[in-house]
Structure 1
Amino acid sequence: MKRRLERQDGPQTTAKPRKNGVVCNEPPCANDYVSLELYSSHVSQFHDNVCCACGKNFVYQRILDLHLEECHDPFRDSDSQLKCWHAKCRDQFPTHALRIEHLQRTHHYPSSYDFDIIYKGYVTT
């Protein structure tokens, strides 16, 4: 469930052109300058995977899908298993802590990784 802003005459953007770049005003950006060379990857990273329910940003579609399932699915019960973040991995876990342990041990995530990103989204600083 991606958020897409569209008008009848095509995609809508709040980016304002500047010399060799644009100023992006689309949340979570606030007047952030983005060079033209990086604009496509900027949009992909910060604006393509936004939760329609809470507006939080997710860098990857898979994390957005799991966020929607774990945080906004009204039919999900407290006994539901948490899925691994990797689409090809079928492991499931009863707790977030066990999922983190799996991500570190099996998929080699560093201990410094922000594992709560699935609940709070990607926050720019």
Structure 2
Amino acid sequence: IVCCLPPWCSRRPLTFYSTLDYEIHYNTSHRHICQECGKLFPSERWLNLHFAEFHDIMAQMRKEKGEKIHECYVQGCNKYFWSPKKRRLHLIDYHKYPKTFNFGIL
């Protein structure tokens, strides 16, 4: 099985000798990719947060109007923040995220 999917395999196709190996590759390399910039995310939730903050024109308009657009990373929390820094502090204080977490994942 040859993978030629963007963003990486279209430039350098990879060959897989089992369906399982291909599925593992697909799930880790192609499943949650931003169609705007090609950035890869570990889940659909992270992809949706990224899109809303960086590519959604309506979200950018809301931000310009002074609305909070930076959503908490924890699904079900439903809190929004003025800035990534405020969200980071919330995640550390309220959800006990480690200070070493990659908060720039988006």
TM norm structure 2: 0.71
1:41 Cα deviation after fit: 3.9
> Does the CA contact (< 8 Å) of 1:51 and 1:64 recur in 2?
yes
* Conserved? CA contact 2:2–2:15, under 8 Å: no
Asked whether 1:93 is paired with 2:76, we answer no
Corresponding residue of 1:55: 38
User: Structure 1 unaligned runs (5+)?
Assistant: 1-11, 16-24, 119-125
Structure 2, gaps ≥5 residues long = none
Give 1:70's aligned residue: 53
Superposed displacement of residue 35, structure 1: 9.0
SS of the equivalent of 2:36 reads: coil
Deviation at 1:71, TM superposition (A): 0.5
Report how far residue 34 of structure 1 moved: 7.9
Equivalenced residue count is 98
| Conserved? CA contact 1:49–1:60, under 8 Å | yes
Change (3 A) 1:103 1:34: farther
CA-CA distance at 1:83 after TM superposition? 0.8
Query: What RMSD in Å do the two structures reach over aligned CA positions?
Result: 2.8
1:14 partner letter: C
Counterpart residue identity of residue 80, structure 1? E
Instruction: Answer whether contact 1:49 1:58 (CA < 8 A) is retained.
Output: yes
User: Please, which of 44, 51, 65 is the counterpart of residue 27 of structure 2?
Assistant: 44
Deviation at 1:91, TM superposition (A): 1.2
Seq. identity, %: 29
User: Could you tell me how far 1:32 is from its partner in structure 2?
Assistant: 7.3
Cα 1:53–1:33 change in 2 (3 A) is same
- How much has 1:73 moved relative to structure 2? 0.9
- Runs (4 or more) in structure 1 with deviation over 3 Å come to 25-42
The TM-score, its normalising length taken from structure 1, stands at 0.62
